[in-house]
């Protein structure tokens, strides 16, 4: 199957190009835009010129931005220094936490964000697929109208607002924890105590993100299934004397899942947007909170690193989705 | 030779086409959305008149003014700064609407331009532009928004509008491109290009007007996204600090203790206001999309089995003979099928009766829209949604298919009665191998077969239709059109049914393949003693393989005869004209004539004979009365025409 190999190779190449573009875009965004943040730290009026020079040298700001054209090594510039540092996993040093490496901050935050996103994705995709299937199968019945209204309403509800409502109810009525991932400074008697504490902290943020994503996935699945139900091979399956259950299981589901895989991948951006909002409402120490915090503190290395990490994660997840797709759909190799 | 080689005119009997605008007005969801937006616009415009306080006025507040619950003075209470929530709510509508509309307009310009160029000119430029679009589609928009806004020195509303607009164009681009791609190949565009129309002329005059409705629907949805983006940014604290917006109200209340103060009035109203406007635009956009994109979707699994059985009217003709060795395998009597339409039920098939004997090949002939495919789908109970059998009986080996229980019907399908669908291109599941789809039929109806037997039988079936058994492990997309059609026939043969119905089995295939497939069907019918119904508009096919012919016109049977009689002595004027519209090998010099006029529309059927308006021999009676089938010569020949009226 050289066709599939070639297909995957082109997808990997495209992912690499995309990441490279993101890196370059990221570099110039933080240097070209009017905020000029890289130099902001050196403009403090309390610093004397010697200190400024020392700071500039330390952060490499004394070099050319893109290409060194006045003799010397043309690649001895900020841009290539940035690329080199990135390739060593060096995202720079945080402005706000002076001695912390950005990569360390990002690593912990990414793990926390995955703790939020993964359960929500699994739950919302699972329920979304089932609800969407039922709604499409029972098109124009009360179930369908109900499911559609629910997802339209969820779609119109800003994630952060849903988070606030659930936080309000959860805190005032159920006494659930509303911030952080664990109780700070808690001393657990047993493993189950610790697990219980983690789950109770996860409950509200996960519920918020799941509800927001659920409507989206339900809509996608519904239209995908409706599309498949209008295909001639469904009529063939019916004429063959297959039961409705077997038509759905053996003929409709796999075809309906195809666009879903792609759309879940495209939707990752939506998921990340949701996670940023949920984290900021529930003070969840993930990459979204870190981003918002970095904005407040003008901590540009962290902001730049967080954005880069999010973008790379999403591009890689898309790549995985395309690989799954190529396994599910035999036609993909020709296309 | 002045032969006009036009075959049968194929003006389709279309259902009346719904007009987009009126169907939009009938769409209550869209009207609701429009009303919701209207309310928001009204509030935004008249905020200074409606609001009891000016949220921008500087007033002194004391600690006692903070988070006051709703009262007569403050209908929605006060916020963290002692401000009137209700007044701020009204003013907040201005920001949301301005940002929503202005940003969506920018997105429309950017997305429309990129999509238009990518779709119209295509090629390298097109694919480069789409790569660019994919890039923005992949990167999470909120993260990108935050990063860009964070480095902006000036977070004014205008800057926010530009950033939100400049990031929200990707869906528009995709939509416009796919619209333009499909429009570009349409006849009127290629024609305009052929007569020398310039690119921009064609785009302006032919493409944009047609792509515009869906672009507008998309833009309405982009508005809702832009409003959501602005409120999210404001909530995070990245909005314009100098204006009152709903996101900012939520930000201040949430950050400044509204939750612990249980001051729900500071949180719920601005949140619901965002929901209101986003829901309104989403409803409107979705309704517009549906109205402007009227794909009447088929749905093959919609509540079907019951619909066919319920409320059958009693048949109006002599019932078919029930049993006996000489009884036909399939007897259709008075089959009548209607479709729902906005203007009432349309009768697509009206009182069709015919018999099929074992080993016989029957041709069901007619123009497009004559109801021939609908008739066979109806007798199989495979009508699309909206269609139902209202009258008739379909005796299959003594059992009425129309009243059979769902389980019995399922058991009988394919094992005794199978069908080769029109256009086998899509009749096979693309993600399952051809062999797998054949063995599925065997496994379903002959569950006692071992795996090895199923494999052998599948291989044999494929060999029978001239496909190497090994190719059974391939997917349908690797097969040519003719091979797929043959695979479909192998599938139909799988359980050695008593009857096979083949709907246009050779249309869209080249002549050589056509001949092969017809020979195959004929050979198999003789070998296994199966009854075959071939549904076709092609009289050549009928002459080649059929024993009997049923000619349909306007949903009714015009003439029914054995094939020799029909070609030698057609009695119905329609049959006569139909035969003259076809080339004849024995009489090559004869002038071919197409039949003037078009078949009747289903919503405007003639009161009398359906063919009367096009019939050269029509007289008064034809316009008033529907002619019954009159027996001609031998009892098996019938024609529904007053010219050949006979009395039993």
What are the angstrom distances between the C-alpha of B376 and each of B123, B354, B383, B399, B415? 45, 11, 9, 17, 17
Distance from CA of A72 to the nearest CA of B (A): 32
How many whole angstroms separate alpha carbon B399 and alpha carbon A334?
Answer: 47
Burial class (CB in 10 A: 0-12, 13-18, 19+), B32: middle
Q: Which two tokens stand for residue B341?
A: 């339409």
pLDDT at A127: 93
Which chain A residue has its CA at the smallest distance from B231's CA? A158
Assess A181–B contact: CB distance below 8 Å, yes or no: no
**Does B20 or B155 have the greater pLDDT score?**
B155
- For residue B470, pLDDT beyond 80: yes
Residues 6 or more apart whose CB falls under 8 angstroms from that of B398 comprise: B322, B323, B327
Assess A28–B contact: CB distance below 8 Å, yes or no: no
pLDDT at A98: 67
Size of interface A-B (CB pairs under 8 A): 229
pLDDT average, residue stretch B495-524: 82
Query: What DSSP element (H or E) covers B216?
Result: helix B208-236
DSSP state string for B311-379: TPBPPSSPPPP--STTS-SEEEEEEEEEE--TTS-EEEEEEEEEEE-TT-EEEEE--TTSSHHHHHHHH
**Does B118 or B8 have the greater pLDDT score?**
B118
The shortest CB-CB distance from A247 to any of B140, B235, B301 is to B301
Which tens digit of pLDDT belongs to each residue from A51-70? 777 766 766 666 777 777 77
How many whole angstroms separate alpha carbon B210 and alpha carbon B120?
Answer: 14
pLDDT at B588: 61
pLDDT at B303: 52
Q: Catalogue the long-range contacts made by A178-187 (C-beta closer than 8 Å, 24 or more residues apart).
A: A178/A204, A178/A282, A178/B259, A179/A282, A179/A283, A179/A284, A180/A282, A180/A283, A180/A284, A180/A285, A181/A112, A181/A115, A181/A284, A181/A285
Interface touch A239/B382, C-beta < 8 Å: yes
b or e along B86-122 (b: 16 or more beta carbons within 10 Å of the residue's beta carbon)?
A: bbbbbbbbbbbbbbbbbbbbbbbebbbebbbbbbbeb
The answer for B 435-474 residues in CB contact with A (under 8 A) is 440-441, 444-445
- For residue A194, pLDDT beyond 50: yes
- Owner of token pair 């921009």: B200
Distance from CA of A314 to the nearest CA of B (A): 7
By DSSP bridging, strand B548-553 and strand B556-562 are antiparallel
Which tens digit of pLDDT belongs to each residue from A126-166? 999 999 999 988 887 888 888 888 888 888 899 999 999 99
Interface touch A303/B282, C-beta < 8 Å: no
Assess B306–A contact: CB distance below 8 Å, yes or no: no
Q: Sorting pLDDT into bands at 50, 70 and 90, what band is B579?
A: confident
Instruction: Average the pLDDT over each of A186-195, B344-353, B494-503 and give the range with the smallest value.
Output: A186-195
Distance from CA of A190 to the nearest CA of B (A): 31
- pLDDT > 90: percent of chain B: 31
Q: Catalogue the long-range contacts made by A13-17 (C-beta closer than 8 Å, 24 or more residues apart).
A: A14/B131, A15/A315, A15/A316, A15/A318, A15/A319
- For residue A43, pLDDT beyond 70: no
The answer for A 8-27 residues in CB contact with B (under 8 A) is 14, 18, 21-22
Helices (H), B237-304: 246-255, 264-292
pLDDT at B18: 45
Which tens digit of pLDDT belongs to each residue from B359-386? 889 999 988 888 899 999 999 888 887 7
Burial class (CB in 10 A: 0-12, 13-18, 19+), B199: exposed
Residue among A241, A245, A261 with most chain B CBs within 10 A, to mutate: A241
Assess A174–B contact: CB distance below 8 Å, yes or no: no
pLDDT at B296: 45
- pLDDT > 70: percent of chain B: 91
Assess A171–B contact: CB distance below 8 Å, yes or no: yes
pLDDT at B534: 92
**Does A89 or A273 have the greater pLDDT score?**
A273
CB A168 within 8 A of CB B267: yes
Give whichever of B90-104, B508-522, B576-590 has the largest mean pLDDT: B90-104
pLDDT average, residue stretch B273-281: 94
Interface touch A229/B301, C-beta < 8 Å: yes
Interface touch B151/A34, C-beta < 8 Å: yes
Q: How many CA atoms lie within 13 A of B403 on its CB side?
A: 11
The shortest CB-CB distance from A244 to any of B301, B382, B445 is to B301
How many whole angstroms separate alpha carbon B4 and alpha carbon B113?
Answer: 47
How many whole angstroms separate alpha carbon A285 and alpha carbon B584?
Answer: 83
Is the sign of the CA dihedral B604, B608, B609, B613 positive or negative?
Answer: negative
Residues 6 or more apart whose CB falls under 8 angstroms from that of A102 comprise: A91, A92, A93, A94, A301, A302, A305
Closest CA relative to residue B88, chosen from B257, B277, B281, B265: B265
Burial class (CB in 10 A: 0-12, 13-18, 19+), A99: exposed
Assess A1–B contact: CB distance below 8 Å, yes or no: no
Is the sign of the CA dihedral A247, A135, A117, A305 positive or negative?
Answer: positive
- For residue A21, pLDDT beyond 90: no
Which tens digit of pLDDT belongs to each residue from A92-130? 777 777 668 888 888 889 999 999 999 999 999 999 999
Q: Sorting pLDDT into bands at 50, 70 and 90, what band is A206?
A: very high
The three-class DSSP label of residue A316 is helix
pLDDT average, residue stretch A275-289: 91
The shortest CB-CB distance from B477 to any of A272, A318, A331 is to A331
Interface touch B426/A250, C-beta < 8 Å: no
Q: Sorting pLDDT into bands at 50, 70 and 90, what band is B32?
A: very high
Interface touch B235/A272, C-beta < 8 Å: no
The shortest CB-CB distance from A164 to any of B267, B283, B491 is to B267
How many whole angstroms separate alpha carbon B613 and alpha carbon A268?
Answer: 61
Interface touch B423/A232, C-beta < 8 Å: yes
How many whole angstroms separate alpha carbon A217 and alpha carbon A198?
Answer: 27
Distance from CA of B300 to the nearest CA of A (A): 6
Residues 6 or more apart whose CB falls under 8 angstroms from that of B603 comprise: B15, B16, B341, B343, B346
**Does B135 or B247 have the greater pLDDT score?**
B247
How many whole angstroms separate alpha carbon A278 and alpha carbon A198?
Answer: 16
pLDDT at A40: 57
Residues 6 or more apart whose CB falls under 8 angstroms from that of A171 comprise: A178, B259
Q: Sorting pLDDT into bands at 50, 70 and 90, what band is A45?
A: low
pLDDT average, residue stretch B31-40: 93
pLDDT at B325: 66
The shortest CB-CB distance from B274 to any of A158, A246, A268 is to A158
Check residue B634 and report its DSSP letter. Answer: T
How many whole angstroms separate alpha carbon B114 and alpha carbon B135?
Answer: 14
B257: left (phi over 0), alpha (psi -120 to 50) or beta: left
pLDDT average, residue stretch B204-218: 84
How many whole angstroms separate alpha carbon B54 and alpha carbon B48?
Answer: 7
Assess A242–B contact: CB distance below 8 Å, yes or no: yes
Distance from CA of A180 to the nearest CA of B (A): 16
Q: Sorting pLDDT into bands at 50, 70 and 90, what band is B272?
A: very high
Closest CA relative to residue A135, chosen from A127, A147, A123, A153: A147
Give whichever of B241-245, B596-600, B643-647 has the largest mean pLDDT: B241-245
pLDDT at B586: 62
How many whole angstroms separate alpha carbon B264 and alpha carbon B67?
Answer: 9
Report chain B's mean pLDDT, rounded to a whole number: 84
- For residue B14, pLDDT beyond 50: no
pTM reported for the whole predicted model? 0.80
pLDDT at B229: 92
Assess A222–B contact: CB distance below 8 Å, yes or no: no
Residues of chain B with Cβ-Cβ distance to A164 below 8 Å are: 250, 254, 259, 267, 271
- For residue B307, pLDDT beyond 70: no
The shortest CB-CB distance from B231 to any of A33, A158, A164 is to A158
B253: left (phi over 0), alpha (psi -120 to 50) or beta: alpha
How many whole angstroms separate alpha carbon A332 and alpha carbon B184?
Answer: 25
**Does B223 or B122 have the greater pLDDT score?**
B223
The answer for B 242-271 residues in CB contact with A (under 8 A) is 247, 250, 254, 259, 262, 264, 267-268, 271
Interface touch B432/A244, C-beta < 8 Å: no
pLDDT at B25: 56
pLDDT at B222: 92
DSSP state string for B517-577: HHHHHHHHHHHHT-EEEEEES-HHHHHHH-SEEEEEETTEEEEEEEHHHHHHS--SHHHHH
- For residue B615, pLDDT beyond 80: yes
- For residue B589, pLDDT beyond 70: no
Assess A317–B contact: CB distance below 8 Å, yes or no: no
């Amino acid at each position: 199957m050289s066709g599939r190999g070639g297909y995957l190779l082109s997808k990997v190449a495209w992912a690499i190009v995309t990441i490279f573009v993101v890196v370059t875009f990221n570099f110039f965004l933080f240097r070209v835009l009017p905020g000029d943040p890289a130099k902001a730290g050196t403009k403090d009026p309390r610093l004397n010129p010697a200190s400024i020079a020392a700071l500039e040298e330390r952060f490499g700001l004394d070099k050319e931005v893109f290409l060194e054209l006045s003799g010397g090594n043309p690649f001895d510039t900020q841009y290539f220094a940035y690329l080199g540092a990135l390739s060593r996993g060096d995202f720079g040093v945080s402005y706000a936490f002076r001695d912390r490496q950005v990569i360390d901050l990002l690593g912990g935050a990414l793990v926390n964000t995955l703790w939020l996103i993964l359960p929500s994705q699994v739950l919302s995709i699972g329920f979304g697929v089932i609800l969407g299937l039922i709604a499409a199968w029972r098109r124009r019945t009360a179930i369908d109208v109900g499911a559609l209204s629910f997802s339209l309403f969820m779609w119109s509800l800003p994630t952060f607002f849903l988070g606030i409502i659930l936080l309000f109810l959860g805190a005032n009525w159920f006494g659930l924890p509303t911030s952080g991932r664990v109780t700070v400074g808690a001393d657990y008697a047993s493993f189950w105590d610790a697990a219980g504490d983690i789950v109770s902290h996860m409950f509200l943020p996960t519920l918020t993100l799941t509800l927001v994503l659920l409507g989206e996935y339900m809509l996608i699945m519904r239209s995908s299934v409706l599309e498949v139900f209008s295909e001639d091979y469904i009529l063939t399956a019916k004429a063959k004397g297959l039961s409705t259950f077997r038509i759905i299981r053996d003929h409709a589901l796999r075809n309906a899942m195809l666009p879903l895989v792609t759309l879940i991948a495209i939707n990752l951006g939506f998921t990340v947007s949701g996670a940023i909002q949920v984290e900021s409402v529930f003070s969840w120490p993930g990459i979204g909170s870190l981003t918002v915090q970095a904005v407040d503190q003008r901590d540009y290395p962290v902001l730049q690193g967080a954005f880069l990490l999010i973008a790379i994660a999403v591009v890689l997840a898309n790549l995985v989705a395309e690989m799954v797709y190529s396994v599910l759909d035999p036609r993909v190799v020709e296309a | 030779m002045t032969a006009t080689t036009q075959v049968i005119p194929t003006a389709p009997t279309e259902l009346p086409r719904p007009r987009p605008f009126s169907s939009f007005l009938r769409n209550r969801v869209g009207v609701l959305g429009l009303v919701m937006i209207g309310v928001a616009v009204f509030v935004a415009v008249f905020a200074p008149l409606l609001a009891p306080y000016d949220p921008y006025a500087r007033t002194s507040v004391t600690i006692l003014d903070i988070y006051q619950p709703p009262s007569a003075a403050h209908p929605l209470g006060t916020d963290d700064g002692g401000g009137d929530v209700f007044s701020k709510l009204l003013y907040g509508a201005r920001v949301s609407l301005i940002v929503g509309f202005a940003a969506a307009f920018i997105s429309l310009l950017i997305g429309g331009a990129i999509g238009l160029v990518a779709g119209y000119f295509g090629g390298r430029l097109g694919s480069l532009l789409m790569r660019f679009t994919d890039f923005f589609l992949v990167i999470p928009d909120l993260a990108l928004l935050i990063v860009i806004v964070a480095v902006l020195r000036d977070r004014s509303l205008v800057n926010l509008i530009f950033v939100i607009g400049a990031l929200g164009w990707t869906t528009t681009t995709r939509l416009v491109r796919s619209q333009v791609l499909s429009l570009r190949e349409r006849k009127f565009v290629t024609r305009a290009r052929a007569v020398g129309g310039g690119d921009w002329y064609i785009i302006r005059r032919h493409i944009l007007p047609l792509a515009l409705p869906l672009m507008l629907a998309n833009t309405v949805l982009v508005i809702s996204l832009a409003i959501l983006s602005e409120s999210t940014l404001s909530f995070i604290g990245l909005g314009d600090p100098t204006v009152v917006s709903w996101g900012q109200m939520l930000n201040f209340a949430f950050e400044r203790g509204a939750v612990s103060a249980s001051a729900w009035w500071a949180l719920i109203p601005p949140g619901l206001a965002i929901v209101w406007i986003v829901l309104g635009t989403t409803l409107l956009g979705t309704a517009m999309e549906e109205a402007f994109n009227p794909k009447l979707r088929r749905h093959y699994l919609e509540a079907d089995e019951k619909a066919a059985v319920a409320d059958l009217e009693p048949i109006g003709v002599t019932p078919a003979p029930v049993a006996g060795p000489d009884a036909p395998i399939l007897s259709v009597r008075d089959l009548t099928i209607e479709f729902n339409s906005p203007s009432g039920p349309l009768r697509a098939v009206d009182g069709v009766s015919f018999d099929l004997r074992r080993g016989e090949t029957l041709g069901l002939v007619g123009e497009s829209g004559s109801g021939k495919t609908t008739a066979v789908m109806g007798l199989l109970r495979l009508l699309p949604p909206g269609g139902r059998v209202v009258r008739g009986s379909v005796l299959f080996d003594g059992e009425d298919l129309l009243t059979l229980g769902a389980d019995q019907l399922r058991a009988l399908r394919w094992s005794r009665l199978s069908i080769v669908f029109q256009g086998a291109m899509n009749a096979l599941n693309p993600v399952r191998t051809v062999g797998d789809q054949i063995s599925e039929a065997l496994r379903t109806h002959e569950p006692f077969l071992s795996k090895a037997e199923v494999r052998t039988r599948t291989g044999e079936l494929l060999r029978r239709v001239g496909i190497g058994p090994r190719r059974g492990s391939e997917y349908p997309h690797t097969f040519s059109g003719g091979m797929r059609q043959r695979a479909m026939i192998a599938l139909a043969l799988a359980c050695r049914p008593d009857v096979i119905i083949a709907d246009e089995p050779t249309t869209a295939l080249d002549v050589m393949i056509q001949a092969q497939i017809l020979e195959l069907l004929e050979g198999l019918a003789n070998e296994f003693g199966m009854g075959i119904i071939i549904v076709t508009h092609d009289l050549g096919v009928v002459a080649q393989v059929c024993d009997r012919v049923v000619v349909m016109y306007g949903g009714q049977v015009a003439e029914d005869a054995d094939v020799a009689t029909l070609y030698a002595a057609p009695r119905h004027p329609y049959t006569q004209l139909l035969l003259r519209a076809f080339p004849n090998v024995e009489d090559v010099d004869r002038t071919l004539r197409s039949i003037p006029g078009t078949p009747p529309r289903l919503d405007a059927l003639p009161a009398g004979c359906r063919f009367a308006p096009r019939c050269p021999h029509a007289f008064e009676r034809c316009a008033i009365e529907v002619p019954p089938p009159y027996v001609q010569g031998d009892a098996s020949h019938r024609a529904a025409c007053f010219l050949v009226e006979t009395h039993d």
